[in-house]
């Protein structure tokens, strides 16, 4: 059984592309079924490093991690964006996402988180004329 069908994946990837069209920041999404013995935040940090999200020019990458079967997720930002938004932003974004997740709507919960992250990235790191997409916009599926 796949986590997201093709239409859902396309909606999520489109949300990432739309958000990134407004910013020089980068948003990545990692989805897997289980945490594999780690906390969601620790697993998110692992993927943040693995996907080289800390290598963005302005340190403005945001990673959203979701373990569907364990009903756990985390959203983290690199030093550049975290210094601008602080802990309250990440917590309020998680709360907005949870309202969808509680209804079993992972797709729109992720899209909400992507939208929120994109809005903040656009505020503090607006898209520049010489902006290049530093990281892929696709969904990274972890251990299944």
The whole domain housing 20 covers 6-141
Q: What pLDDT sits at residue 6?
A: 94
Establish if 17 belongs to a structural domain. Answer: yes
Residue 36 lies in a domain: yes
The answer to whether residue 76 is domain-embedded is yes
CATH number assigned to the domain comprising residue 80: 3.10.310.50
Domains held by the chain: number: 1
Q: What is the band of 144 on the pLDDT scale with cuts at 50, 70, 90?
A: low
Q: Does residue 1 fall inside a structural domain?
A: no
Min mean pLDDT across 2-6, 28-32, 73-77, 79-83 is at 2-6
Residue with tokens 């299944």, as numbered in its chain: 144
Q: What is the pLDDT of residues 39-53, one digit of tens each?
A: 999 999 999 999 999
User: pLDDT tens digits, residue range 126-136?
Assistant: 988 777 777 77
How high is the pLDDT of residue 16?
Answer: 95
**Spatial contact of 33 and 69, defined as CB atoms under 8 Å apart:** yes
Mean pLDDT to the nearest integer, 76-99: 90
């Amino acid at each position: 059984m796949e986590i997201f069908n093709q239409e859902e994946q396309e909606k999520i990837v489109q949300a990432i592309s739309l958000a990134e069209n407004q910013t020089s920041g980068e948003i990545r999404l990692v989805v897997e079924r289980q945490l594999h013995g780690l906390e969601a935040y620790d697993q998110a940090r692992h993927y943040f490093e693995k996907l080289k999200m800390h290598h963005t020019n302005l340190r403005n990458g945001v990673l959203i991690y979701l373990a569907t079967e364990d009903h756990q997720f985390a959203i983290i930002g690199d030093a550049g964006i975290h210094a601008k938004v602080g802990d309250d932003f990440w917590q309020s974004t998680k709360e907005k996402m949870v309202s969808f997740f509680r209804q079993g709507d992972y797709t729109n919960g992720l899209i909400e988180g992507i939208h929120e992250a994109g809005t903040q990235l656009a505020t503090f790191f607006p898209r520049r004329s010489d902006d290049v997409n530093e990281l892929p916009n696709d969904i990274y599926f972890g251990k299944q």
